[in-house]
């Protein structure tokens, strides 16, 4: 009888201890569809960088959480979709890379020579827009954003 209780208690303890391991909730994920508007030409490509922190936002795509590009620009617009994105806080930086060289060209050292934009159409004041002004929440299965391009 003692052995029966020992085995039962051991089985119960293993069950309780393994519950958190097997039943861990999966991260919720969603889709972010970005409509880019006011592109001044159909040349080149549109590069979008999805950031989950202020580090590198908006112009350092190599620090982005996700990056996407499209070569389809039609009637001054382009659409890009980020899929399988964990719920959280994000901001989008957009570059109209008209000469398809993969980087933002500048004039006068720091002024963009190509079109740029950010989520929530965050404004720049004495430098690029701030992450906090462009951030949005992904907390539903799908959201859509519109980014209007700016040319200096």
Give the chain's domains with CATH numbers.
Answer: 29-148 (2.60.40.10)
Residue with the larger pLDDT of the pair 62 and 69 = 62
Determine the average pLDDT of the residues in 106-117: 87
Distance of CA 61 to the CA centre of its chain: 11
What percent of the chain shows pLDDT beyond 90?
A: 66
DSSP H helices in the chain: 2-22, 131-134
pLDDT for residue 7: 43
Q: DSSP 3-state assignment of 139?
A: coil
For 67-88, the pLDDT digits (tens) are 998 878 999 999 999 999 999 9
pLDDT for residue 13: 46
Q: Sign of the CA dihedral 60, 66, 70, 73?
A: negative
Taking the C-alpha atoms of residue 67 and residue 25, their distance in angstroms, rounded to an integer, is 27
pLDDT greater than 70 at residue 112: yes
pLDDT for residue 108: 81
Residue with the larger pLDDT of the pair 3 and 144 = 144
For 1-38, the pLDDT digits (tens) are 554 444 445 445 445 455 455 555 678 999 999 999 99
Query: Any residues with CB less than 8 A from the CB of 98 and at least 6 apart, and which?
Result: 41, 43, 44, 114, 115
pLDDT greater than 80 at residue 47: yes
pLDDT for residue 127: 85
pLDDT for residue 131: 98
């Amino acid at each position: 009888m003692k052995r029966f209780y020992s085995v039962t208690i051991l089985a119960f303890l293993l069950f309780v201890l393994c519950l958190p391991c097997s039943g861990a909730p999966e991260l919720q994920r969603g889709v972010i569809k970005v409509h880019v508007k006011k592109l001044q030409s159909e040349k080149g490509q549109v590069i979008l960088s999805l950031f989950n922190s202020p580090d590198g936002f908006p112009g350092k795509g190599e620090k982005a959480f996700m990056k996407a590009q499209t070569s389809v620009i039609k009637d001054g617009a382009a659409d890009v979709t980020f899929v399988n994105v964990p719920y959280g806080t994000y901001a989008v930086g957009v570059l109209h890379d008209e000469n398809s060289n993969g980087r933002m060209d500048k004039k006068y050292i720091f002024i963009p020579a190509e079109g740029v934009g950010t989520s929530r159409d965050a404004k720049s004041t004495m430098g690029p827009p701030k992450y906090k002004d462009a951030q949005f929440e992904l907390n539903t299965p799908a959201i859509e954003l519109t980014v209007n391009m700016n040319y200096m």
